[in-house]
Structure 1
């Protein structure tokens, strides 16, 4: 695998977030006959950087019956971060030099490490601080709906909001558990197709505002650098500038702010065609990206690693 493919297209890595996790995701790349040393080394880097939290996280990652379920914020978020980072490192070890990175939710933290904005130890500390804060938030969830955001406006309220715009008719609602369940029932009664996202937390909704208070101070204490690789933000829907990455409030509000994956992907592909490689535990972003006109036209390509989980 090289930095470009036939036609000389640049490569962009897509790094997924909450909802892409599943039990024992990518463990086959860590140990056994199909193990990839570069992947295993990168995962060990993350577990080591996490200090005391790394050992139980690694144990639950491998466990058939984990102590803490993989959908719990203290497991899903750091493990997605670690797998995204390690898969990207594996791809890059094969000679790929990405021209751009696009992370979804916590995937943007992994992108920030790959681009040199944060060191891995600093980023792991920030991710662990985030999940500790969010673990104390009230029960919540996320609901994927086959509809445009405008169609869903009459159903919003009680802190249920648009948490992510993933595609033209793929919107994710987020909020507290009881109001979200009520909203979901109303949508199903109105014949909307809905599906719960694997999450026990209402990411990207106002309900997490109290839990995020104080996070800005920790981000302000961590040195940042201008991105060495262009990061297309799923929060601003544009490339991150040095001013963006140096703003602690930008990072601290990630759990509260909506994810604009589709506008960010559209902005990325407006710069030219790319090979889009999803470096994460699933193929969700790949399925979304295949809806883009440039991909449907065949000028941009999509390559999820899930289909080749035992090695690219």
Structure 2
């Protein structure tokens, strides 16, 4: 028996962002898991349109589609946060939290950097600023940033929005330039896939919207209660860095360096990476890492990869909880 591979693992929560959303994500846990339900209710009560958010989240035919920024962003934040609160209610004390895009704000809230009231104010402010702007989007490309430099030189209005994996780069920009570079890439035989987004997140296009730091300067940022890693700075955040208003105001504009940050985090120990949000996008990325393939780390998701039944939500969550008991030092729940 390999005692190193069998040793208990520390839990890392991975919180997904834009593109992970799907209809009725995690709805099967609502009114089923008390901690999740309470966190959702507290969060939605703080949004000015919280009842409409709940209605569209749970509806089979929502009035506003899930990919619209007015639904995707606040609901991703709410569900990432609520799922995190559910996991914490199981007795998990995370060794680290790492969010992708809006998932980082949810991670910071779980870590106690922001009160829920302040985090929702930031979330609502972002949506209010972005929603009326010119439409755009994001494009996942099978290639490295170096592979894409010639294309970016021909399409200067497109930027790299995220580095998700060594050969998974996300581009961002307004609709017409994004269509042009997509056609150029496909013509060169490079695989592309649109991200479910109607705006150019993590692009300089949004920079003018977030120059006013008034809201962010009014909010108090507290030292993290759990180790909090940032895919924007590529480092662990400390008390001084979380207190920088420009860091949080710049999230919708700055690129997401998920893979380099994950790589650094994985060097700190042996972990169970638990995707604490909708889908399995971050789990799939993590499973490409060499140390995960070699068994040093395990990656799992709380929820299905796509819309299924409420029973499927609960089944996936139960399996994840069982995995926590078998691979970490978490004490089993009483019968």
**TM-score normalized by the length of structure 1:** 0.95
Kindly state the Cα deviation for residue 309 of structure 1 after the two structures are TM-superposed: 2.3
Q: Is the 8 A contact 2:158 2:171 kept in 1?
A: yes
Equivalent position of 1:158 in the other structure: 156
Alignment equivalent of 1:130, drawn from 126, 130, 135:
126
Q: Is the 8 A contact 1:159 1:205 kept in 2?
A: no
2:277 counterpart of 1:280: yes
Kindly state the Cα deviation for residue 213 of structure 1 after the two structures are TM-superposed: 2.7
Q: Is the 8 A contact 1:136 1:211 kept in 2?
A: no
2:27 counterpart of 1:23: no
Bigger radius of gyration, 1 or 2? 2
Equivalent position of 1:112 in the other structure: 108
Kindly state the Cα deviation for residue 243 of structure 1 after the two structures are TM-superposed: 1.5
Kindly state the Cα deviation for residue 45 of structure 1 after the two structures are TM-superposed: 1.0
4+ residue runs over 3 A deviation? none
Tell me how far apart the structure 2 counterparts of residues 295 and 309 of structure 1 sit (CA, whole Å): 25
Q: Is the 8 A contact 2:27 2:313 kept in 1?
A: no
Kindly state the Cα deviation for residue 6 of structure 1 after the two structures are TM-superposed: 5.3
Kindly state the Cα deviation for residue 209 of structure 1 after the two structures are TM-superposed: 1.0
- How many residue pairs get aligned? The number is 303
Q: Which is worse superposed, 62-71 or 261-270?
A: 62-71
Kindly state the Cα deviation for residue 164 of structure 1 after the two structures are TM-superposed: 0.1
Tell me how far apart the structure 2 counterparts of residues 258 and 42 of structure 1 sit (CA, whole Å): 29
Tell me how far apart the structure 1 counterparts of residues 102 and 6 of structure 2 sit (CA, whole Å): 31
Q: Is the 8 A contact 1:202 1:208 kept in 2?
A: yes
Equivalent position of 1:218 in the other structure: 215
Tell me how far apart the structure 2 counterparts of residues 73 and 46 of structure 1 sit (CA, whole Å): 17
Q: Is the 8 A contact 1:142 1:197 kept in 2?
A: yes
Q: Structure 1: any 5+ residue segments left out of the alignment? A: none
Tell me how far apart the structure 1 counterparts of residues 288 and 97 of structure 2 sit (CA, whole Å): 19
Q: CA RMSD in A?
A: 1.2
**TM-score normalized by the length of structure 2:** 0.88
Equivalent position of 1:71 in the other structure: 67
Tell me how far apart the structure 2 counterparts of residues 292 and 172 of structure 1 sit (CA, whole Å): 18
Q: Which is worse superposed, 57-66 or 122-131?
A: 57-66
- 1:41-56 equivalences under 5 Å are 41-50=38-47, 52-56=48-52
